[in-house]
Structure 1
Amino acid sequence: MIRWTIFLLFFLIIDIYAFQSLKTLSKNPWVQGPYWLLTFLVIGNFVFHYYGFNRRDGFSHAHSYAFGFFIALLIPKMILFIIMFGEDVFRVPQAIFRYFTEGETAKGNYFASRRQFISKLAMGIAAIPFGAIIYGIYKGKYNYKVFEYTLQFEDLPLAFDGYQITQISDIHSGSFDNMDKVAYAVDLINEQHSDAILFTGDMVNNKAEEMKPYIDIFSRLQAKDGLYSVLGNHDYGDYIHWDSEEAKTKNLEYLKAIQKEIGFDLLLNENRFLERQGERIALIGVENWGAGGFKKAGDLKKAVRSVEKNDFKILMSHDPSHWEKEVINDNNHFHLTLSGHTHGMQFGIEIPGWFKWSPVKWRYKYWAGIYEELGQYINVNRGFGYLAFPGRVGIWPEITVIKLKKGTANA
């Protein structure tokens, strides 16, 4: 209760300042009324869904949208607060100085109404993230982008020169609310005509049954050399309450069965060889291994059994922290690692090929796109779906297409 009281007081202080900006521009009750009505509805809905909320009881669409609309309201108001409060920081000392130097002649002026252009500036700036967040909730979460990369390796077997893989990650099927958009994305994956499709974990949020409505759609995925997958941290069902360990185990087994029904060859600390014209590359898949308290079921040594040191290796590992902590410095040379997990935080600014930024960079060193260390590469997929916040702002859902070329320079 104390936590919620502090939260409401915090929001009230922000709102008082934010309202000053609107009040300066319009004193019309037909403008101010809807402002407060919207505020009470969004905050009330948020409190209704999250008061007493326990993540282990599950996270519904209603929870997701309550959180999303709260963020859409909070961030613009915080911007208004910062600008209007910042004005006070400069104007109040100035007003006090004028009062003591000008005396009664300054009366009524030192706490004068805020200047309109400051309020207009604040409202204009705040409108940008508000519009972006609403767009992200309405359309951004299904604004699928195809990211294409060409990577060259001196020791790539000649038979695999030009070999193309499509990577998807973090489906999070329990968050979807538009089956047609998902079907469109699956068709977009097939349109890449890749030799293999690799899925790097988090098919569901918590329960295997979340994927059931989408089995037929994802069963349409096709690739000449097959579909391969690994598990992500959400696939184990660790984040919700189960009636028994048996129920949790059955859920994971059901998810494995669903993946098989779709056509995925699930690699559980295992490997497969893709062969062409008497040459081969090793496809290695580990279970989830994550730093910072995440599940560490991945066993790299077990996964590379029967793989020779000079084999060309593609590793599928859900969490990029695994690459940083274990893979890079392993005695084996893993030419290419494919990960996901970060979602790019579903929020950021990105101009492909020029600039990318997201707050998630403060948590993960490798959070989106291609990175190289010690002659080894990782691609961190931005995710196919979304989780918690029901949208994406600036960091769009991703389908990665990687072409392998024999050579010495990467482009």
Structure 2
Amino acid sequence: MLLSPLNQYSILVPVLIRILIFLFFVFLIDWYSYQAFKTLFRDQNWVKIVYWTFSISVYLFVAYGFLTFNRASLSLNFGRMISLLVLSLIPKLIILGLMFGEDLVRIVTGVFQSVSGNSEGDFLPDRRKFISQTALVLSAIPFLGVLHGVIVGKYRYRVVNHTLEFDDLPEEFDGFTITQISDIHSGSFDNKKKLEYGVDLINQQESDVILFTGDLVNNHSKEMEPWIDTFKKLKAPMGKYSILGNHDYGDYMSWPNKEAKESNMQRLYEIQEELGFKLLRNENVKLQKPALSGVEGAKASIDLIGVENWGKGFAQYGDLPKAVANLSDQSFKILMSHDPSHFDEEVKKFSQFIHLTLSGHTHGMQFGIEIPGFIKWSPASLRYPKWAGLYEELGRYLHVNRGFGFLAFPGRVGIWPEITVLKLKRKKA
């Protein structure tokens, strides 16, 4: 359908306005950053040339990356583009804050001197070298932090342990252990040795089961092909179970036809099977142990439920009523649901009591600061009230894993890749 010139104009104008506003802010950030360099290196023109050459090169590289962007392959080059942009902009934002603050002081001082008649020379006092030095030193901190996140942080696996007590946990499952991993995003990996270390670390936990809560790939099943042999090494005596995440469906890329998308999904199902995972799609399984009653053949069980992705603002393929349709109201239940918003929107008030929900999805935005007992913050908290760690509400637990892999930005700053070990205990009377 062809658009009329008027309609084309009405679409283009808002887009151009947004682009101009964005370019204005980019110029403002760089201009203020340049002031710090110019103040410190007044007589060294080569520093100024290097500054603008670097900045312009970054923007040209990023512009080229976005113009040639293909969501079908979030390539390593795209990741490098994002990391270069972050490395360039975050330090400049620190400089902007200090230099803009200094300008406010200079303007107030200039106005006061003019009104009082004490003004001599230029209206604005000269920039202080100390402020520029401080700005550059402070900007180096986030720069080094981001650089560490790109080189080291994205593979800095940590094991997080939680012990949960329940009144109605079957005695046979007292001490039962779960290793949860989430958000592998296999299309982003670039270091086989580091990845193998992470898989070995999962196995070292020697948990009864391994539960994977979605996002095996970024967009396409082929991303997992190089890593199948690595993840096949995961072992758990009572099995490995998984669900789908929002990225697993291929919804974020264009397919030549419906059949191609379906073929990709079928291959993803096959890969899950090759990895040794039992994929739960709005269904459940019973995890069983011999009953302590001594009756031959008697079994004690807990119900493990897996729903497809259900997220507020995302695709909602999950069907919790279907997944629990054949379960007793009195059974002990563990739910795997990729997006933690599902817990607040449906799970916590669901007609059947679900003791523990395991989610992922947020990655903790791969950026934040966590000091136990003092501070826990990430930009993810602006979107998700429950974005990482353990939560309890209405007697039900939710655990949000920070993710095993990474997406788009090839790094982690302050929010490290996580392997969660949960031990279930029967509360003593």
Normalising TM by the smaller chain, what interval?
over 0.9
Deviation at 1:26, TM superposition (A): 1.8
1:132-176: CA deviation from partner (whole Å, max 9, x where unpaired): 111111111111111000000010100110000000000000111
Paired residue total? 405
Aligned residue among 311, 315, 321 for 1:290: 311
Aligned residue among 24, 32, 54 for 1:9: 24
- Alignment-mate amino acid for residue 320 of structure 1: P
Please tell me whether residue 396 in structure 1 is matched to residue 416 in structure 2: yes
Deviation at 1:53, TM superposition (A): 4.0
Return the TM-score normalized by structure 1.
0.95
**Residue 225 of structure 1: SS of its match in structure 2?**
coil
- Asked whether the 8 Å contact 1:271–1:303 carries over to 2, the reply is yes
- Alignment-mate amino acid for residue 82 of structure 1: G
Matched ranges for 1:210-225 at <5 A: 210-225=223-238
Moved more, 127-136 or 226-235: 127-136
Deviation at 1:9, TM superposition (A): 3.0
Closer, same or farther: CA 344–225 of 1 in aligned 2, 3 Å: same
Deviation at 1:257, TM superposition (A): 0.3
Deviation at 1:113, TM superposition (A): 2.5
Deviation at 1:100, TM superposition (A): 4.5
Return the TM-score normalized by structure 2.
0.91
Equivalents in 1 of 2:335, 2:374: separation in Å?
Answer: 27
Deviation at 1:24, TM superposition (A): 1.4
Deviation at 1:305, TM superposition (A): 2.6
- Asked whether the 8 Å contact 2:155–2:417 carries over to 1, the reply is yes
- Asked whether the 8 Å contact 2:241–2:278 carries over to 1, the reply is yes
Deviation at 1:320, TM superposition (A): 0.5
1:261-319: CA deviation from partner (whole Å, max 9, x where unpaired): 01000001111111112211100000000111x11111111111322111111100000
1:110-134: CA deviation from partner (whole Å, max 9, x where unpaired): 4332111111221122111111111
**Residue 346 of structure 2: SS of its match in structure 1?**
helix
Equivalents in 2 of 1:265, 1:342: separation in Å?
Answer: 23
Please tell me whether residue 372 in structure 1 is matched to residue 387 in structure 2: no
Equivalents in 2 of 1:8, 1:186: separation in Å?
Answer: 43
CA-based RMSD: 1.6
Closer, same or farther: CA 33–170 of 1 in aligned 2, 3 Å: same
Moved more, 300-309 or 25-34: 25-34
1:73-127: CA deviation from partner (whole Å, max 9, x where unpaired): 1111112112111111121131133134335x6114x433211111122112211
- Alignment-mate amino acid for residue 215 of structure 2: D
Alignment correspondent of 2:78: 63
- Asked whether the 8 Å contact 2:338–2:358 carries over to 1, the reply is yes
- Asked whether the 8 Å contact 2:74–2:187 carries over to 1, the reply is no
Gaps of 5+ in 1: none
Deviation at 1:8, TM superposition (A): 2.9
Matched ranges for 1:101-140 at <5 A: 101-102=116-117, 106-108=120-122, 110-140=123-153
Task: State the identity as a percent.
Answer: 54
Equivalents in 2 of 1:191, 1:354: separation in Å?
Answer: 30
Alignment correspondent of 2:294: none
**Residue 130 of structure 1: SS of its match in structure 2?**
helix
Matched ranges for 1:273-312 at <5 A: 273-277=286-290, 278-292=299-313, 294-312=314-332
- Asked whether the 8 Å contact 1:99–1:107 carries over to 2, the reply is no
